[in-house]
């Protein structure tokens, strides 16, 4: 009987809650947060301009990794260092974090003059309200274009102009940035693979010599990589390989 009475009371309470008006139920429940994005007529155009600037800034920050990889010396350095690790035979030494970090700092070192020019000629005058956004962009892209032109081969540039079906430019100012960027990337890839091939040849010769010696001695069960790895490391250390490679990479960008 007690249990039935409890169940009866619980049923009455639930029925009373369900029969309450919607306003009473909503008043008892906590209000959920609501976010609204609207495009209304703005009396103050300055606020709209600030919002657009923030939007453009976020867009640029999202594209920053791609710009860092494709418009700087990062591509060539990362490819050369990765191929060097494979040529030596140390599959995970140095780790990827070391290679990417070294490539980033070398890129920072190489691109510092360009970024200083961009800061002095474009960013700082724009922050001081001396020039407009369009003029700041034009001034900022000039040193970057100059850097890319120095590393771009004429053959690759002519190919991209021909593919884009644009008229033959009279000077470098007539070359569109959308044509220059892929030409620069193709040239960087070819230069990186050329340097990687030159690095691979000495270590490949050591592997072939060690494999021939082991085969002539009848030690076919011994992996040649295990024997050649100490010799390749010794050759790389005695030749001061890091000094030569990093110096060649930096000097290659002038």
Name which residue leads in pLDDT, 215 or 29: 215
What is residue 20's predicted lDDT score, i.e. its pLDDT?
46
Q: Is there a contact between 125 and 136 (Cβ–Cβ < 8 Å)?
A: yes
Nearest residue to 147 via CA among 76, 238, 41: 76
Residue 79 pLDDT greater than 70, yes or no: yes
Task: Sketch the domain layout of the chain as residue ranges.
Answer: 65-199+241-252
On the question of pLDDT at 133 being above 80, the answer is: no
- Reading the block at residue 39, the tokens are 């495009």
Q: What is the pLDDT of residue 25?
A: 45
Euclidean distance between CA atoms 57 and 179, whole angstroms: 24
Query: Average pLDDT, stretch 190-202?
Result: 88
pLDDT at site 36: 47
Please tell me the predicted confidence (pLDDT) of residue 176.
Answer: 82
Look over the chain and give the mean of its residue pLDDT values, rounded to a whole number.
76
Q: Is 153 exposed, middle or buried, given 0-12, 13-18 or 19+ CB atoms closer than 10 A?
A: middle
Mean pLDDT of 191-212: 86
156 near 187, Cβ under 8 Å?
yes
Q: What is the pLDDT of residues 137-187, one digit of tens each?
A: 788 888 888 888 888 888 888 888 888 887 887 887 878 888 888 889 899
**DSSP line for 135-178:** HHHHHHHHHHHHHHHHHS-HHHHHHHHHHHTPPPPSSGGGS-HH
Return the pLDDT at 49.
61
Indicate yes or no: pTM above 0.95: no
pLDDT at 38 over 60: no
Give the per-residue pLDDT at 158. Answer: 85
Contact at 8 Å (CB) between 188 and 75?
A: yes
| Secondary structure of residue 40 in the 3-state scheme | coil
* Cα angle, residue 222 at apex, residues 82 and 209 outer, rounded to 5°: 60
Q: What are the residues whose beta carbons fall under 8 Å from the beta carbon of 251, sequence distance 6 or more? A: none
Alpha helical stretches, state H, 32-153? 45-70, 74-88, 96-118, 124-127, 133-151
pLDDT of the residue at 141: 83
**pLDDT band (50, 70, 90) for residue 12:** very low
In the DSSP assignment, the letter for residue 184 is H
With 0-12 CB in 10 A as exposed, 13-18 as middle and 19+ as buried, what is 231? middle
Distance between CA 84 and CA 86 in Å, rounded? 5
What pLDDT is recorded for position 245?
A: 87
Query: Burial level of 149, CB count in 10 A (0-12/13-18/19+)?
Result: middle
């Amino acid at each position: 009987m007690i249990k039935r009475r409890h169940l009866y009371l619980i049923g009455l309470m639930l029925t009373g809650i369900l029969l309450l008006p919607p306003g009473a139920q909503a008043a008892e429940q906590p209000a959920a947060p609501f976010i609204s994005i609207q495009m209304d007529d703005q009396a103050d155009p300055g606020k709209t301009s600030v919002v657009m600037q923030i939007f453009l800034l976020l867009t640029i920050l999202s594209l920053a990794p791609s710009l860092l990889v494709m418009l700087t010396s990062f591509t060539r350095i990362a490819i050369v260092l990765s191929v060097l690790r494979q040529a030596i035979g140390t599959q995970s030494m140095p780790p990827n974090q070391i290679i990417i970090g070294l490539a980033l700092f070398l890129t920072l070192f190489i691109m510092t003059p360009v970024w200083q020019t961009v800061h002095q000629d474009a960013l700082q005058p724009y922050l001081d309200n001396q020039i407009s956004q369009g003029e700041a962009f034009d001034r900022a892209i000039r040193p970057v274009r100059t850097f890319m032109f120095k590393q771009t081969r004429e053959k690759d540039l002519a190919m991209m102009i021909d593919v884009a079906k644009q008229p033959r430019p009279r000077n470098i100012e007539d070359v569109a940035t959308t044509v220059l960027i892929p030409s620069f990337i193709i040239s960087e890839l070819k230069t990186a693979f050329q340097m990687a091939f030159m690095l691979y040849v000495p270590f490949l010769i050591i592997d072939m010599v060690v494999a021939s010696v082991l085969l002539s001695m009848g030690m076919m069960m011994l992996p040649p990589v295990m024997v050649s790895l100490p010799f390749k490391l010794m050759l790389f250390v005695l030749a001061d390989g890091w000094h030569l490679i990093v110096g060649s990479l930096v000097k290659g960008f002038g």
